[in-house]
């Protein structure tokens, strides 16, 4: 795999910003294990909305740029959102016999996450048709 | 969060995002096909390590490694984007498989990491 150092640097810079933003949200919205994790849910929804917007706009509307997508998409949105913490939270719910809450959390995350991509993608495309 | 911990979260977050970018690229290049194995490999491995870390660290150390490094390494947004694009490309079964397989393996990986 060919590696572009400036592309990697853009990913690092975006990751720095995204991780710091997420840590701020985690600190602002604490929760006990087994409770609905608003911090994770909110960063995942917000980051997915942003990724759907950026990716569609950068791929389908704006002239190709080598560093916008690695910085905004791979870096910021990738680091702001998290898969590992979500899985740990689901396991905590299951082990606390909160099976219904776990199913609700997984279902809501997937439904809202998928809808976030669907809506932003189609809004960007519609804007490109009319404007 | 002190300024030192915040800086550490940023640097480790940057490192995690870089590691994701490189592993995703390497796996996707070798495996090929339409299923996003690169992101899958990143998320499954990150979930396993978080399982290990969750039992071993707390406080600032957990914020640095669990939230900063592994939070940035794994990704929810790309998982959603790739599933959606599979559906758009007429590969809805693969998109649904990406949902189900990532969830099943992710939870199993965290559980396994925690047993160590």
- pLDDT tens digit string along A49-76? 999 999 999 887 776 677 899 999 999 9
Q: Which residue of A has its CA nearest to B55?
A: A88
The closest CB to that of A8, out of B9, B18, B43, belongs to B18
- Section A25-41 average pLDDT: 94
Instruction: Confirm if A5 and A64 have CB atoms less than 8 A apart.
Output: no
Phi-psi region of A26 (alpha: psi -120 to 50; beta: other; left: phi over 0): alpha
Which chain A residues have a beta carbon less than 8 Å from that of B49?
Answer: 84
Query: How many of the other CB atoms lie within 10 Å of CB of A1?
Result: 10
Mutate to test the interface with B, among A2, A15, A29, A98 (most CBs of B within 10 A): A15
Q: Do A19 and B67 touch (CB under 8 A)?
A: yes
What's the pLDDT tens digit per position in B45-101?
A: 999 999 999 989 999 999 999 999 999 999 999 999 999 999 999 999 999 999 999
Residues with Cβ within 8 Å of residue B49, at least 6 apart in sequence: A84, B70, B113
CA angle A30, A35, A38 (to 5 degrees): 50
The closest CB to that of A14, out of B17, B43, B68, belongs to B17
Query: How many of the other CB atoms lie within 10 Å of CB of A111?
Result: 10
Q: What is the pTM of this model?
A: 0.95
In terms of residues, how long is chain A?
131
Residue A2 pLDDT exceeds 90: no
Which chain A residues have a beta carbon less than 8 Å from that of B18?
Answer: 8, 11-12, 15
pLDDT at A1: 67
Mutate to test the interface with A, among B76, B111, B115 (most CBs of A within 10 A): B76
Dihedrals phi, psi of A127, to nearest 5 degrees:
-60, -35
CA B16, CA B36: separation in Å to the nearest integer?
19
CA A89, CA B47: separation in Å to the nearest integer?
11
pLDDT at A34: 84
CA A80, CA A94: separation in Å to the nearest integer?
25
How does residue B115 score in pLDDT terms, banded at 50, 70 and 90?
very high
Which chain A residues have a beta carbon less than 8 Å from that of B14?
Answer: 11-16, 19, 75, 79
pLDDT at B11: 98
Residues with Cβ within 8 Å of residue B86, at least 6 apart in sequence: B34, B35, B36, B92, B94, B95, B98
CA B24, CA B17: separation in Å to the nearest integer?
10
List helix spans (H) across chain A.
5-28, 38-60, 68, 78-80, 84-95, 99-130
- Section A66-93 average pLDDT: 96
Q: Do A50 and B77 touch (CB under 8 A)?
A: yes
């Amino acid at each position: 795999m060919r590696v572009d150092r400036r592309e990697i640097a853009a990913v690092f810079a975006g990751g720095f910003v995204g991780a710091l933003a997420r840590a701020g949200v985690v600190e602002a919205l604490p929760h006990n294990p087994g409770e609905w994790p608003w911090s994770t849910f909110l960063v995942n929804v917000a980051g997915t909305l942003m990724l759907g917007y950026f990716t569609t706009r950068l791929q389908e509307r704006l002239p190709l740029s080598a560093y916008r997508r690695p910085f905004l998409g791979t870096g910021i949105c990738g680091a702001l959102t998290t898969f590992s913490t979500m899985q740990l939270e689901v396991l905590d719910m299951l082990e606390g016999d909160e099976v219904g809450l776990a199913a609700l959390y997984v279902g809501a995350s997937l439904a809202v996450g998928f809808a976030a991509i669907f809506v932003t993608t189609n809004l960007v495309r519609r804007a490109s048709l009319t404007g | 969060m002190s300024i030192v911990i915040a800086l550490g979260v940023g640097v480790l977050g940057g490192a995690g995002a870089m590691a994701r970018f490189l592993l995703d690229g390497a796996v996707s290049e070798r495996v090929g096909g339409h299923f996003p194995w690169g992101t899958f490999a990143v998320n499954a491995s990150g979930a396993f390590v978080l399982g290990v870390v969750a039992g071993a660290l707390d406080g600032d150390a957990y914020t640095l490694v669990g939230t900063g490094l592994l939070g940035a390494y794994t990704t929810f947004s790309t998982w959603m984007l790739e599933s959606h694009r599979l559906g758009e490309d007429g590969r809805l079964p693969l998109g649904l498989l990406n949902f189900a397989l990532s969830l099943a393996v992710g939870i199993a990986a965290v559980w396994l990491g925690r047993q160590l």
